[in-house]
Every structure is written in C-alpha cells, then in structure tokens.
Chains A and B, each alone.
Chain A
Amino acid sequence: MMGNAILTGNTKSPAYYIWISSLIALMVLGGYAHFMSLLTSQEILEFSIRIPWALMVSNYVFLVVSGSGLCIVSSLGHVFGMKRYELISKRCVFLAFITILFGMFSIAIHLGHPERALVYNIITPNFRSAIWWMGALYSFYVLFIAVEYWFLARVGLANKANGSMGLKRKIYCLMVVKKTDESQESQKNDHKWARFAGIFALFFGLSALSTLGAVFGHTEARAFWYGPYYPVYFLFSAAFCGYAWLISATIITYQVKGKEIPEKLKKLLFEMGKICALLLSIGLLFIAYHVGSGLLNPASSQSVMLLLNGPFSQSFWLFEITIGSVLPIIFLLYSANKKNISGLLTASIMVLVGVFVMRFDFLVVGEIYPMFSPMGKDALVLVPSFFPVLMEIFVIAGIFGLLFFTYTLGVQFLPIEEELP
C-alpha cells in the first residue's frame, strides 16, 4: 500500500517524499510571495485598497476559529471529564496549537509592522479596542494550550527519550526539561496539571473567540458586521469547525498509515459526526437569522443582497449553504448511522471548505458598501473582481503547506496518537 509508509518515515517510500516535497514546494511559493511583498510593496498581496481585509485576514479567522473550536472539543475530555474524549485529546490539543500558531503567522504577514505590534501592544494598550483584547487573550490562550499539550505529551516524550540514543535522546530530554519520570504518580500529576491548563485554555479560548467576533461586531461603520451576531456565531461555528478538523485529521492520519481505526475511536468519531451535524444545523439557523435581519435593516440590505443575488451568490449558495452546511448534515447523519468512515471524512472536509469560503465572503461583503463616501453607492463597480490575487493565494498556500508539514512532523516525532487502554 502506497499510503502505508507515508507517515512512518520509511526512507524507501516514494509517497512520503512526494508528500513532503509538495508541502515544501507550497512553502517555497508562499515564501517567494512574501519575500516579493517585502522587496517591492505589500500592495501585491491586495486586490483592492478599498477592501484591505481579504484572504489573509479570512485565513487568520478561519485558522484561529478552528483552533479555538479544537480547544472546545478537547476540553470535553480534560475539563469536563468525558473519558471517551480523552482518547483524542493529544491530537486535538496539538492541532489546536498549530492552527492558532499559523493563523497568527497569517495575520503577521498581513500587518504592516508586526514587530511594532509586539512592543506597542504592551507599552501603550488601548483597552477600548477589540483587536487589543483579541491579541492579548489569544496570546494567553496560545501559552496555556502549549502548556496543556506539554503535560499531555510529557510521558510520551519521556518514553521516547528513554527509548532513544544520542542526539535524538538529547532533543527529547530537552523537550521534557529532563523530566523523564514515567511512573503512575507522575502521570496522575501531569493529568492534574493538564486539566488545570485546559481550564485556562478554554477560558481564554472562548473569551478570545467572542472578542474576535467583537472585532467585527464593534465596527458600527460596517453595517453587515455590526451587532452581537458575530461574537455569538463565532463560538458555535468554532465548535463545528473543531469537530470537522478533528474528524478529518484523525481519519486521514489512520488511512495514510494504513492502520485500522480502533473500534472505540470509531464509535467516538461517529458520535462526533452526529454532534457536528447538530451544530451545523444550529449554524444554518444563525445564517438564516443574519440574512433575514440584514435584509430588514436598510443599512445592510445591499450587502446581504451581494450574497443572495450578487457577485457572491455562487460562493454563498454553493459553498456556504450546500457544500458547507446542507450536504455535510445529510452525509454526517447518514455515515454515522451506516458506520461509514469515508462518508464522515468527505462531510468534514466539505465543512472545512465551506467555512473557508464563508470566512472570505463575510469579510469582503462587509467592506464593500461605505457608510458615507463621496463616491456614493458606485463603490462596487470600482473593484473589477472579488477573487483573491495570485500572490495572496501563494502566501495562503505556503501557510497551509507549513501547517500540514508541522502536523506531519508532529505525527512522526511527537506523541499525538490515541492511546487505548
């Protein structure tokens, strides 16, 4: 089987090298686009000066919301004590950590001066700004999610350190800060601390998530974003995104390793599929509410019409509604009942694709109509196309290459596998 050796690091496997080379190629492409933007102008990453938040910011929103969603799912095991969820907690927390990390990387490329953000966010904070709160809360969140993963993985890392030699052993020892104790007592202790870090990670994760929604909710000047909708909707959409990420990553990892998914994990995956379908249904109600209330509000009705019957209608009806919500609900419920893993995988990937498009749409649609402008309502015609520019796509491809590369390395060298009793 070709996929059998992809993640085992077998040097003879061509599939492994093809996979790694493709990811490196994506990273080189992203690196090239970013380098060119530094060398020439950041303008090459923007399709309109009037729409400054586009693919880079939507990718940030997509990744950090997914990360927070994964944190929500993982906390079901550690914080809320659901034993069956503890099975997937390591993979879930690791994914939560890397998605937020590369989400932040995405926004760092978008910022004009990311280095200043690190300094002035601390020296001169503006407590009235939602972006400041989001940055601060997400920083704490990253810290606690990293600590949580460390406590979850310490025994596994110690085990790897004890079982290896030379440089490899030194690196693993460094990763566990020389705490190579594998006793039952130390494991209990780790579990306690992981739960403690998990509580904080959940608190900061949820707070940061609703504050991210507030970044859009506070902008009264953008009628489509304004209001309490996004702070609340982001929370629920994060939950189904988290489930979709976890289901797809788990199934793909097992499939490329050529391993049979353990029965207990399968049972959990089907349960997760059902919960994801339920959350997607709630998400559909949210969308219906947003569209309905947006149409009734004269300030935002034009923006909503762009989605329903304008340049974004295809991505709204096809991606956001059909591929991202309706079909996955049917697929997830059908697959969960028929115990079909492939159906589950297809549905969760569809959710992720739909949500990715949805994040882009909501951002761009919200920016098109100004509250007041000397150009009047004709601003729409000044932007020839709403499709992201090639350089922007390159950078995003590079970020995804980096994300999948890190995950592959994680699967290879870190303890993220499910441990069955």
Chain B
Amino acid sequence: MGRRNTTTRRQFLKFVPAASVGLSLGNSASVDASFVKYGKFHDTTKCIGCKRCVSACKRWNKLKIDREEELTDRETDLSGQTWVVVNLTRDKRNREDLHYLHWGCQHCIKPACAGACPVKAISKLPEGPVIVNENKCIGCRYCYQACPYKVPRFDFEKRVAAKCTMCHDRIPRVKPACVSACPVGALDFGIKQEILAKAKKRTEEVGGYLLGEHEAGGTDFLTVLPTTPEALGLVVAPEKVISSDLDKLRITSFGFMGASLLTGLMYMYSRTEEEQKEEEEEEKKE
C-alpha cells in the first residue's frame, strides 16, 4: 500500500527506461527494478535498555552470547560477536536525564567502508542494508578505519570484518531480529520514506534531534535523540558523504604532484655530476 502511495510521477518516468533496459537484458540478475528502500529507526525516548534487541541479534546471527554484556546498564562495545549495543547516555546539562542508545551499523546511503574495501567485499544492497561478504573479506580492517562510526569490527574466529546486516536475510518478509524483539516499540523498520517521516514527526514531538538524516551524507538507520548529540557527549560526523570519490582524487593528485616534484629535485641533483666532472678535470689540469 505504502509503495503505491509513494510512487511519484518522476519515479514512474525513471522506471520506464530502467524497465526497458531490464527487459532487453532478459533474466540478467544485475538489473534492479526495485524501488523499495528500507530503513531502521530507534527512538531513544522510548528505549528502556532491556537489551532484548542485543540478544535477539545474537540469536538470529548465531553470535557468541556473553551474559555479562547483556546486563542492563553495562556499557558494552561493538565487536565481531556483538553487532548492536545499548548504552546509557547522560545529558550533560541535566545529569539525571538518562537515555539508552541502540547503536550499530548506520547503513550509510553512500558507505565509506564499501569505497575502502579493496576487494568489494562490502556492498550497499539496493534495499538499504550495507553487508559484508565474509567469504570474500581479506581481513585488512580498512573498512573500520574508513567508517566514521568505527562500526565494522574484526571477528577473530572467522578472521573477517563483521557488523550488523540489518537482517537482510529476513527483510522484507520479517522485520530485523532486533526490531521484532523490542517490547516497547522503540525500534521500528519499514519503507525508508515512511520511516523517515515517522522519525521526523517523533523528533518534532520530543523537541530533539534526528541523527542520521544528514550525517555522513545520510543513513538508513535513524535515531531520535532527546537533545543535541553534543549535549549527550557524542562526537557527530559532518553532514557530507565521508571519503567521497572526488575527495579521494583530490588527495591522490597531491601525492602525484609530490612525486613529480621529487623526480624534478632528483634530476636537478643529478646535474651536479657534470659539475663535479668539470671540477675534477680542472684539478687534473692544474
């Protein structure tokens, strides 16, 4: 229903050439005719910190369960075996104002990790999830360095990068494991536009901040914060695509300019050979 309602005239016009190309390629798997993008949303004002999302994630993805980690209010960090965490954040201006933050991969619209992976083991699916192909990952951990949120962690057992997949093997039939497990509706999943509208509305209601709408070029995981990220002691990513291709080209070009300069200096230095020869000849003459 939602899909029909959200298809605009412009989208329909975009669909016509895409469909004709798709038909001309027959059964080619590379053609994606789907326009449905999904998103996940977390409302920190509703979260009670029960960590059922964490255990549901671990059960569905067959990750190691650490009972210590699952204790309420126990601060935990992401790892190869923990793809989502729920940590307590405190408003700096009002120390009694506490909120739980569900944290994991933000599923960036233009993920820096996918651009950094040397073997294309990380990809952004057309539906929204950013996933790691664990049969392809070489374990260099460059994705971790490139990610503005330091999300893809190294799984020391499989020796590959691991992170939240937005349960791409469940969606859209069933909601992601964490969303299904939430007892208070603090997590939600659905068509991106609907989720975005819902998140914006909720942000307005609580007078807070919507994290992920613009940060790092926008993400498919949105978080409603009760106040500004700075007040919660969070360092925010800039509102632009991180490590864009154009930026990479700009930086690389500086390197090549440096290499050209060095070659020029080496050439100038090599000319001293002739001067030395002349000096030696003069010495001989004397």
Which A positions have Cβ atoms within 8 angstroms of B? Answer: 41-43, 49-50, 52-53, 72, 75-76, 80-84, 110-114, 116-117, 120-121, 124-126, 128-132, 135, 202, 206-207, 209-211, 213-215, 217-222, 227-228, 231-232, 235-236, 239, 275, 367, 369-377, 382
Contacts and interface: CB of A to CB of B under 8 A. Distances in A.
A369 B237 CA distance: 12
B259 A235 contact: yes
B243 A219 contact: yes
Contact of B270 (A82, A219, A275): A82
Contacts of A220: 112, 146, 148, 242-243, 247
Which of A110, A221, A228, A374 has the most chain B CB atoms inside 10 A of its CB?
Answer: A374
A375 B77 contact: yes
Contacts of A72: 262, 266
B120 interface: yes
Which of B119, B215, B259 has the most chain A CB atoms inside 10 A of its CB?
Answer: B119
A206 B252 CA distance: 12
Mostly, the A contact residues are helix
Contact of A76 (B103, B245, B266): B266
Contact of A50 (B149, B150, B248): B150
Given A117-B119, A373-B149, A375-B87, A218 B251 contact: yes
B51 interface: no
Contacts, number: 216
Interface in B96-110: 101, 103
Contacts of B116: 128-131, 218-219
A116 B247 CA distance: 29
A322 to B, nearest CB: 26
B243 A374 contact: no
Given A221-B237, A232-B258, A235-B262, 6 more contacts: A112-B154, A114-B138, A117-B140, A214-B252, A221-B150, A231-B254
Given A72-B262, A128-B248, A207-B259, A49 B153 contact: yes
Contacts of B235: 369-373, 376-377
Interface string B231-261: 0111111000011010110111011111100
B79 interface: yes
A110 B139 CA distance: 8
Contacts of A202: 263
Contacts of A367: 145
